[in-house]
Structure 1
Amino acid sequence: MDESRHMPEPDTSSDQNQPRLRIGFLLAPRFTLSAFATFVDVLRLAADDGDGSRPIRCRWRVLSSDMAPVQSSCGIRIEPDERLGDPTRFDYIVAVGGLIDGGPGLSLDQGAFLKRAAQARVPLAGLCTAVFSMARFGLMDGYRCCVSWFHHQDFLAEFEKMRPVSDQIFVVDRDRLSCSGGVSAAHLAAFLIDRHLGRAAARKALSILMIDEPMQGDRPQPGLPLELHARDPLVRRALLAMQQNLHAPLPIARIARDLGVGRRKLERHFNADLGIPPADASIRIRLAQARMLLARTDRTVTRIAEETGFCDASHLIRVFRETEGTTPDLWRQSRGVLTEQEPV
C-alpha cells in the first residue's frame, strides 16, 4: 500500500518563517512518556539545521481543554501549551495513549476535538494505546490500525469486529496513522519528517538519537516471544500472525493473503529461512504454547487444547507424543505440576 496516499502535500511556500510541519498533541491521562518524548525529539532534531532545538521547520504544541498538567504513567507531568481551539492550524493531530487500565483514556472534550479535526480532514495519529480511545470515538471505523502485540488481545476483547495490525511497527491508512509505541514512535515521526522535510532531515534526526536508519511501517514488531527465530521480515510477520491467533489458527492461504503475497511465495520464504513449511511452523508455535501452559498452569489438557487451536485433547496428545515422545500429562508430571480435574 502507498503510505503517502491521502496525506497532506509538503508545503512548498517560500516563506521561510513558516514551519513546514505543525503537530498538535493530545495527551491521555497516564500517557506513555517514552512514545511522546521520542516522537517530539525526532521533530526537534529535524526542525533546526543548527541543532539548537529551535522549532523552525517543525512546530509542536501540547493541547488541552482546561490547561491542567497531564501526568504520565511514570509520574512526570507535562504542562499544555494551548487550548484545543481550531484543529486546522495543525497538519496533524497526534494523540498519545498510556495504561489501558488506567482510566477512560482521552476525554470527551479531546474526542470532540478529534472529531472536528477528522471532519476538517486533518490527519489523526495515535501513539501507543491511543487507538483504543480513537476507536471508542468511532474514529477508526473502516481503517487499519496498529496495536502492540502486547495489547492485541485486549483490543480484540473490546473491538471484536475490528482486526488490529500487530505485526508492523506502524500503519498509515489514508488520513489515519498509528504505531505500537516505544521506538516505533520515532519511526512514525521520521516518516512524517521524510514526507514534509525530506529524507536527509529524517535520517539526521534518527542518527542523533542513535537509531541506525528509518524503518518502514511494515517492519515486524520486535519483542514477541516466538518458538522460531526468523530473519526474513515476511516470515516474521507470518509467525506473529500465527502467534496472535493460537486459539483459532488461520489457514496458511489466509495469512498469505493478509500479508499481500501468494501462498507459494510465503512457503518459499519459509523454506529458505527456516527450512520448514508454514503449516509445520504453526504446529511448533502452538506446541510451544501448550508446553508453557502445561508447565506454568494447572489447566487441563482439554482446556489447553482449546486455547492452542488443536481440535481436541486427543489431537493435542497425538501431536505432543510425536514430538516429545510422551503424553502431555506424563510430561507435566515429570515436572511436578498439579493439575485441574479433567471433566468427566
Structure 2
Amino acid sequence: MSPSHMEDTPEAYITWLDEVWSRQLNQKQDQGLVIGILLWPDFPLMSLTGIIESLRHAGDFGDQSRQIEGRWEILGNPNVPVKASCGLEFRPTCHYTHPAEFDYIFVIGGLLSQLNKAPLRHRQYIRLARQSSCTLVGVCTGSFILVEEGYLDTLKACIHPYHQRDFEQRFPRFFYTTHKDFSIDDGLITVPGGTSILALMSHIISTHYGADRSAKVSHQISLPERRGVSHFERSALIRHMEIKDPRIQKAIAIIEHAQETPLSVSELARQLGMSERHFSRLFSAEVGVSPREYLLKMRLKLAVWLLQHTSKPITSVAYDAGFSSVAHLSTLCSKRFGITPSEIRKGGSISRVD
C-alpha cells in the first residue's frame, strides 16, 4: 500500500498533530529567511537546487555556505528517502515542524503519475501550513497539488507549457498561464519550475534582504541579467516564430502577459519607445493583422474563456476582458461567432478565437 493511502486513525493523526505543534527549529531566532520544503516522489532536482543554492548564497558572506541569515529544511520522515526524477535520493533533514517556524513552504511536485504516492502527512501538513502565517509555494506540478487541496479556486496558476494539456483535462474550470515565471496572490505562489525557480528566488531574496543581496546571488550562480522577454514569455510566442523583430515579440509578450489589464495601441507603442504610427506599421507587417485587431482578438479570447469556465455575470466578463459594455461584447460575439455571450455560456459551438 502506498504511503498516501495508508490507514490513518483519528488517534494517530491527533498524536502526529501534537508532535507537529510542539516542534520548533533549533536556533531559528535571527536566522532571517527560513524555508521548508516538501518533496514529492520523482521531483525535479533543478527546482530543489534552485531554491537551496539561491538561499545559500543569500544567507552568508562570500561563498562560505553557512546558514547564517537563511535556512532551509527538507520536511518529512528522515528515515524515508525521496527519489528525484534523475534517480538520486534525498533524506528529509527535519521532521514536520510547526509551520509558523517557516516563512515559506515549498511544495515540489513530481511526475503526474506519482502525485498520489507521497506520504499522507505531506498533504496534511500543507493544510496546517495554509492555516498559519507562512506562504505556500507550488513548484512545477506542486501547483496541481495546491489545486487538489482547494487553494487556487480564484487564482491563476503558473503552469509549464508541457503540463498545459494535463492541467486543462484535470482542472477544466481553473484559470492558468503558461507565460509567466511566477504568480503571487493571497499567501500563495505558483512557479512552473525550470529556470523560473531562479527568477522567483531572486524576487523573494530581493523582498527579504534587498536588491544588493539578490544581485549577489545572481552573480554567484551566474544568472544573466534579464533582458527582453523571459523564457516563459518566449514559450507563448511559439506560434509566432516567424516574427523576427524583437520589439514585436516583446509587444506580443506584453499583450499576453496583461490580458486582464487591457492595453491601448498607444500605450504599447510608448512601452516600446516607438511612435504609434511606426509601431502599427511594423506590427502589421510582422504579425499580419493590426495591433488593434490583435488586441481585440485577445480580449475576445479571454471573454470566451471566462464565459465557458466561470460563473461570473456576463457584465463582469465584459468589463474583465476590457470591453466598454455588455452590448459591445455581444455585438462582437455575434459578428465573429454568430452567437451571443449567453449562448456561448450555454455551450454554443464557436470556432477557435485564435
Interval of TM-score (by shorter of Structure 1 and Structure 2): 0.5 to 0.7
Find the aligned partners of 2:174 and 2:138 in 1 and give their Cα distance: 16
TM-score (norm 1): 0.66
Q: Which residue identity is paired with 2:283?
A: L
Q: Give the equivalent residue in structure 1 for 2:252.
A: 235
Secondary structure of the structure 1 residue equivalent to 2:159 = coil
Quick one: structure 1 residues 267 and 41, their matched pair in 2 at CA, closer, same or farther if it must change by over 3 Å?
closer
Using the aligned pairs only, state the percent identity.
25
- 8 A Cα contact 1:188 1:217, kept in partner: no
Amino acid at match of 2:136: L
Name the structure 1 match of 2:176. 164
Report what 1:262 is aligned to: 263
The corresponding residue for 2:52 is: 40
**Structure 1 CA distance for aligned equivalents of residues 229 and 51 of structure 2:** 15
Range moving further from structure 2, 16-25 or 50-59 = 16-25
**Residue equivalent to 2:71:** 59
Is 1:24 equivalent to 2:25 in the alignment?
Answer: no
Over aligned residues, Cα RMSD in angstroms? 3.3
Show CA shifts across 1:254-280 (max 9, x none): x9642x133545775773663342546
Aligned to 2:154: 142
Mapped pair 1:196 → 2:208: yes
Separation of aligned partners in 1, 2:221 and 2:148 = 34
Local SS of the residue matching 2:166 = helix
CA distance in 2, matches of 1:24, 1:311: 46
**CA distance in 1 between partners of 2:93 and 2:227 (Å):** 31
Change (3 A) 1:227 1:234: closer
Q: Which runs of 5+ in 2 are unaligned?
A: 1-26, 273-278, 298-348
Q: Please give the per-residue CA displacement for 1:217-251, whole angstroms capped at 9, x wherever unaligned.
A: 9884344523344635441254xx5xxxxxxxxxx
- State the partner residue of 1:341: none
**What is the CA distance between 1:44 and its match in structure 2?**
0.6
SS of the counterpart of 1:112?
A: helix
* Structure 1 match to 2:84: 72
> For the residues of structure 2 that align with 1:43 and 1:174, how far apart are their CA atoms?
23
Give the alignment's TM-score, normalised by structure 2.
0.64
Contact 1:169 1:217 (C-alpha < 8 Å) held by counterparts: no
Q: Judge conservation of contact 1:105–1:133 (CA < 8 Å) in 2.
A: no
Cα 1:214–1:195 shift into 2, 3 Å: farther
Give the letter aligned to residue 128 of structure 1.
C
Give the direction of change, closer, same or farther, for the CA distance of 1:64–1:281 in structure 2 (3 Å limit).
same
Is residue 2:217 matched to residue 1:205? yes
Matches within 5 A, 1:299-338: 311=351
1:11 alignment partner in structure 2? none
Distance 1:80 1:215, change over 3 A: farther
SS in 2 for 1:274: helix
Letter in 2 for 1:235: I
